[in-house]
Structure 1
Amino acid sequence: MKDQLINCTRNAFQKHFNQVPDYIFLSPGRINIIGEHVDYNDGYVLPAAIDKYICLAIRKNSESNDCKIFSYDLNESFSFKINEKIEGDSPMWVKYLLGVAEEIRKTGKRIEGMEVVFSGNIPMGAGLSSSAALECGFAYALNSIFNLNFTKKEVVLIGQRSENQFVGVQCGVMDQFASVFGQKDKAVMLSCDSLDYQYYDAKMDGCSFILLDSRVKHTHLTSGYNDRRKEVEKGKKIIHDNFNEMETFRDCTHEMLDSVRGELGEIIYKRCLYIIEEIKRVEVAAKAIYNQDFKLLGELLNQTHFGLSKQYEVSCPEIDFLVEETIKMDGVLGARMMGGGFGGCSINLIKNENVAEVTEKIKKIYKSAYHIDLKIYEVKISDGTKEYKENEYSI
């Protein structure tokens, strides 16, 4: 699959520009194993890069100030002046790349003209962060081929700022971080505010992560997300006003929360309860995956889904249905909603010998209940963004 993507992108470059690319880069999508909605609530997340990629083929052209880009998947081209301030409207896919170039220009570092072709096998709209992979792949590639000397963390932040300021999506940093810092067979426990991180071995011997794409996205994702942020911020202030030692939700105990339950009200109480329990679950899950205690990891996924559905209330009937039905099946150790909520994918931890039977069953059950054809993705934990040398792929 990876070699096929590389060869396809390389061949598309040769056909489009009538030249051989100088460089090939792969930038992966990501899953978040556990730690949902705690990135903006003082907690940890536990993402991992996966074996679905954006591939970029690039050739430097020092005689030009133009960056010429071809999206193979969309069959669309775009060109811009590489070191000039970028203004005006452009297609959405272009904005991710323009934002990276603009963020680099703001640092005062210069890059030269180039030709770029990119393609990908990250499913669009499935919550696997194809946009972060594109941003970070481009930023990483420019940093490498033009010797800009950005650190990996600076590459991550360039990608995030591109999406925040140029695309207009106020995303956190987890997606970009996982794409750049991912390592094969390792999950990374990340504190999104400080960018402190720790790797945990995640060799999935005998088990796999299977994503079930509900193919629904309800319109209240943005409003629901904003409402939850306001609710937990209000709750945090109330708890802190009563317990000055509680600086972050990491410091909050069940006893603190229960003592101000009346002041919080039931809705905010539930939101805060989910957050403090999810923060603790991430730390337990990191150790469980390191110890290959998949039974415990599955139980934590189930607990998280209950919290997301009943306490934080960001799930939806279709995802609840998928989780409730799959966890009844033999070999399914755990399942939960993945991502911001109100649609998207569930992530399922399934014993390898049961994957085929489970996926076949759930496709039929879901189709019968919702008349929607389920999309299913099996993912492996992979390396982060990197250059692939000539001898690492076949032509």
Structure 2
Amino acid sequence: MQRKLIENTKAAFRKAFHTEPEHLFLAPGRVNIIGEHVDYNDGFVLPAAIDKYICFAVKKENDSDICTFFAADLDQFFSFNTKEKQVPVEKQWANYLLGVFNAIQESGRDTGGLRIAFSSTIPMGSGLSSSAALECGFAYILNTLFDLRLSKSEMALIGQKSEHTFVGVNCGIMDQFASVFGKENKVIMLDCNSLDHHYYDAKLEGYAWVLFDSCVKHTHLTSGYNDRRRDVDKGKEVLHKKFPQVQKFRDFTLAMLEECREDMGAVPYIRCRYLLKEIRRVEQAVQALSESRPEELGRLMNETHNGLSREFEVSCEEIDFLVEETQKEKGVLGARMMGGGFGGCSINLIREDSVEDITGKISKKYQDRFNIQMKIYSVKISDGIQEYTSDEHIQS
């Protein structure tokens, strides 16, 4: 799969620019094993880079200030002058790249012209962070070819800033961080505020990570997200007033929350309860991985889905159906919705010898119930962004 992507991207470069690329880069998508909606609530997340990539074929233009992109999957070109001030444009995919360049330009670093063709195996719109791969992949290319001396954290933050300023999405740092910092068979326990992080083994012999794409995304994601933030903020206000000595939300206990239940009201209480329990589940999941207890990890995933669906209320009928039917199957350790909610993918931990049978059953049930053909992605935990300069590095 990786080899095919690289060969296709090299062919696209030749077609677009009538020459050979000099460099190849792979930028991965990501999954989040556990820890949803806690990244903006003083909690930890547990993401990992996956073996779905954007491949960039690149040639440096020493005698030009023009940077030209060919988006092979869209059959579209876009160019800009690296000596000019950049502003957002109508072509949305280009804004992810322009935002990265603008952030680097504002830092006072100098770059030059490039020709870049790119293609992807990261499914678009499925919650696997193709946008972060695009942003951070370009930042990595500029850093490598123009010796900008950016740290990995700086590249992740530049990707996030691009999305904030040129795309208009006020995203957290998790997606960009996972794309840059990913390691094969490792999950990252990340504090999204401080960027403190630790790696933990995630080599689960005999088990596979499989994503079921519901192929739906309900329009109330943004409004629902904003409503949840207001609910949580109200709960936090009551907690901090009663317990001013506690600085971070994650340090409140469930007993403290219970004391504030009447003052904050039913909805803020249940939202905060989900978050405090989810923060603790992330810590428990790390322990389960460290001790090679996949059954315990699966149990925590099931608890997370129950909390997201019934307490934080960000699931939907289609995802609940996928998760609940999957959880019934023998050979499934855990299943839950992944991402912001109201559609997208479920993430499932399944015994390898059961994957084919279970995916067939769930796909048929989903088709029968909603008349939608779900998509299935088996993923492996992979390295972060890297340059590939010879076929000896390429996985077949």
Q: Residue 204 of structure 1: CA displacement? A: 2.0
What letter matches 1:287 in structure 2? Q
Counterpart-to-counterpart distance in 2, 1:145 and 1:88? 24
Give the TM-score, by structure 1 length: 0.98
TM alignment of 1:293-372, pairs within 5 A? 293-372=293-372
Distance in 2, matches of 1:234 and 1:83, equals 47
Deviation of 1:10 (Å): 1.0
Kept in 2, the 8 Å contact 1:32–1:45? The answer is yes
1:129-186 residue CA offsets vs partner (Å, 9 max, x unmatched): 0000000000001100110000000000111101110111111000000000000000
Aligned partner of residue 8 in structure 1, secondary structure: helix
Cross-structure match for 1:190: 190
Question: Using the alignment, how far apart are the partners of 2:249 and 2:302 within structure 1?
Answer: 22
Tell me, in whole angstroms, the C-alpha distance in 2 between the residues paired with 1:83 and 1:178: 31
Deviation (angstroms), 1:88: 5.5
Deviation at 1:90, TM superposition (A): 3.1
In structure 2, the residue matched to 1:69 is: 69
Letter in 2 for 1:72: A
Query: Residues 336 and 347 of structure 1 are in contact (CA less than 8 Å); yes or no, is this contact kept in structure 2?
Result: yes
Distance in 1 (alpha carbons) for counterparts of 2:214 and 2:88: 36
SS in 2 for 1:334: strand
The answer for the alignment partner of 1:15 in structure 2 is 15
Q: Is the 8 A contact 2:54 2:122 kept in 1?
A: yes
Q: TM-score, normalised by structure 2?
A: 0.98
Contact 1:249 1:275 in 2 (8 A): no
Q: Aligned partner of 1:207: which letter?
A: Y
Identity fraction in percent: 56
Provide the secondary structure at the position in 1 that maps to 2:70: strand
SS at 2:164 equivalent = helix
Partner secondary structure for residue 153 of structure 2:
helix
Distance 1:197 1:132 in 2: 18
Is this contact kept in 2: 1:212–1:374, CA < 8 A?
A: yes
What's the counterpart of residue 26 of structure 1? 26
Secondary structure of 2:98's aligned partner: helix
What is the aligned partner in structure 2 of residue 255 from structure 1? Answer: 255
- Cα deviation for residue 226 of structure 1 reads 0.6
Q: Equivalences for 1:103-142 in 2 at 5 Å?
A: 103-142=103-142
Aligned residues: 395
Please tell me the root mean square deviation across aligned C-alpha atoms, in Å.
1.1
1:240-275 C-alpha deviation (Å, 9 max, x unpaired): 100112222211111101111111111111000001
Mapping of 1:144-159 within 5 angstroms? 144-159=144-159
Q: Deviating runs (4+, > 4 A) in structure 1?
A: none
Give the Cα separation in 2 of the matches to 1:144 and 1:30.
22
Does structure 2 conserve the Cα–Cα contact (< 8 Å) formed by 1:96 and 1:135? yes
* Counterpart position of 2:240: 240
> Conserved in 2, the CA contact under 8 Å of 1:6 and 1:393?
no
CA distance in 1, matches of 2:291, 2:93: 40
In structure 1, the residue matched to 2:90 is 90
Q: 1:41: which partner in 2?
A: 41
- The corresponding residue for 1:269 is 269
